[in-house]
Amino acid sequence: MKALHRSASIATLAGLVVALTGIFAAAGNVKAAGSTVGNGSASSCTEAALRSAVASGGPITFNCGNNATIALTQALTITADTDLDGKGKVTLDGQGNTRLVHVSTGVKFSTEKIALINGSAKSSDGAGNGAGLWNEGGDVTLTDTTIDAGSADHDGAAIYNQDGTLMLMRTTLSNGQAKGDGGALYVEKGTVTLGNVTVSGNVATGNGGGLFNAGGAVKVINVTFYKNEASGDGRDVYESDGQIMLSNTIIANPALKPTDRATLTNCKDVTVGNNAGKNIMDGGHNLQYPEKSCGDGIMMGNPRLSVLGDYGSYTKTHALFIGSLAIDRGSAAVCEAAPISRLDQRQVERPDGDARGSVSCDIGAYEVVPAPPTPVPVPTLTPVPQISYPNNPPSNNPPHNNPPPKNPPPPPPFSCPPGMYPIGNPPHCVVG
């Protein structure tokens, strides 16, 4: 009898353990409920309110009225899965004093429709890397996001990807300054994908004004690199180790002076070992200008890019002027597949069947939308009455046979003043 009671007790205890295990497992799978920062006014969207929301993780939205800028005094450290959705109305400002975001290892972090500006990565904080965002080893996705005007004492004025996964979609990295390498993006390790991204106006005192890859696997798809600078090599792209695959991408700078052509290069590959010097790889349908350092097989020609500006949606882009070699020369298959998914950085549909009557999409982050032909008005012809002659029979009354009026000439083509170029539909003029 004692043995029977003992067996029953053991069975009951085992059942309790199983039940508790299931409860704890279920609890572990429950995502944070999320929260809203602000109560309807810009003044309610404070750093303290944002930090409280980030500490809990989950989806975070903002109720700040119209537009709000939240000044940060220290970095937001992400230790729980978190998503920030600014709805195109929120800017986080480091004021030149602090990094903006630090993503811890093993954490998921994402942003949508938000701007991160004026970040500063100092040597005393995380080795001076990643002024906008330092990904220590998380899973990071930035969509419709701007990182602008960051400064790093060392590497990665916009983003430093130490490890983990990084996905940039419809994002602009601009006007960063790194005293080391990677004026915009520095990849130490990890898997990195850029799709429909603009990398513009960044500067590195070392190498890689736009992108420096030290050991990651990097895919660059429908990206526009323009006007990035480096005091060392690779004004736009520098490959030290790992691999960079380019597809449907523009890598360009303004035309060089003859004295600079031997020293200034858009791309530099210094990899050794297997495939040495050939790890900036041509995935097809790329465009380089004004020299061929990114690969002899890549088409060279002027992409005719506008200044960085607001041409629609949440981030700034470089528009393509009429006559750009990037128009209709992208791979339709690449534009069809993720992460491009038939959209450009502004969420304009690709391909548009535009200037050359082609079904191919455009190279780079921007898709040209052609202006429709201007309709020519056709006048309505009014019947001309016959002229009567009183002393003649009606059959001898000749008709008034003046020729019908001609159609008016078509209006002159749209044109811009010197130094400006037409874009858009309806067309308008922008500074080149």
Question: What is the rounded distance in angstroms from the CA atom of residue 40 to the CA atom of residue 280?
Answer: 48
Cα 257–chain centre separation = 30
Same domain, 222 and 330: yes
Determine, yes or no, domain membership for 287: yes
Judge whether 403 lies within some domain.
Answer: no
Domain that holds residue 340: 72-371+411-432
Tell me whether residue 175 is in a domain.
Answer: yes
Q: State whether 201 and 293 are in the same domain.
A: yes
Residues 261 and 204 in one domain: yes
DSSP string, 372-430: PPPPPP-PPPPPPPPPP-TTS-GGG-----PPPPPPPPPPPPP---TTEEEETTTTEEE
Position 351 scores a pLDDT of: 87
pLDDT range class, residue 406, cuts 50, 70, 90: low
pLDDT digits (tens, 9 = 90+) for 134-190: 999 999 999 999 999 999 999 999 999 999 999 999 999 999 999 999 999 999 999
Q: Locate tokens 């409860």: which residue?
A: 23
Tokens found for residue 221: 């798809």
Same-domain pairing of 114 and 209 = yes
Same domain, 105 and 193: yes
* 52 phi and psi angles, rounded to 5 deg: -65, -40
Find all residues with CB under 8 Å of 325, minimum gap 6, and list them: 287, 299, 301, 302, 303, 304, 363
Q: How many domains does the chain have?
A: 2
Predicted pLDDT at 26:
40
Question: Can you say how many angstroms the Cα of residue 232 is from the centroid of all Cα atoms in its chain?
Answer: 25
Domain termination residue (choose one: 66, 83, 108)? 66
Whether residue 109 sits in one domain with residue 56: no
For a pLDDT cut of 90, what percent of the chain falls above it?
70
Residue 24 belongs to some domain of the structure? no
Instruction: Give the model's pLDDT for residue 416.
Output: 75
- Regarding whether 312 and 241 lie in a shared domain, the answer is yes
Does residue 110 form part of some domain? yes
Whether pLDDT at 210 is above 60? yes
Instruction: Kindly state whether residues 102 and 185 are assigned to the same domain.
Output: yes
pLDDT in tens, 336-348: 999 999 999 999 9
Last residue of a domain, one of 66, 87, 114: 66
Say yes or no to pLDDT of 103 above 60.
yes
Residue 145 confidence (pLDDT): 98
Enclosing H/E stretch for 18: helix 2-29
Express each pLDDT in 34-66 by its tens digit: 899 999 999 999 999 999 999 999 999 999 999
| Closest CA relative to residue 93, chosen from 34, 45, 55, 141 | 45
The pLDDT of residue 9 is 46
Is a pLDDT exceeding 60 seen at residue 231?
yes
Helix locations, 44-174, DSSP H: 47-56
Is residue 120 located within the same domain as residue 260? yes
Q: What pLDDT sits at residue 353? A: 53
CB 294 within 8 A of CB 286: yes
- 203 and 329 belong to one structural domain: yes
- Does some domain include residue 394? no
By the 8 A CB rule, do 370 and 354 touch? yes
Q: What is the pLDDT of residue 296?
A: 94
Band (324; pLDDT cuts 50, 70, 90)? very high
Residues 62 and 78 grouped into a single domain:
no
**DSSP single-letter state for residue 12:** H
Q: Could you report the per-residue pLDDT of 346-387, keeping only the tens digit for each?
A: 999 998 654 455 679 999 999 998 766 666 676 666 665 655
The CA-based dihedral angle spanning residues 228, 234, 238, 240, taken in that order and rounded to the nearest 10 degrees? -150
Distance CA 115, CA 119 (A): 11
Whether 77 maps to a domain, the answer reads: yes
342/244 same-domain check: yes
Stretch 19-24: mean pLDDT? 42
The answer to whether residue 131 sits within a structural domain is yes
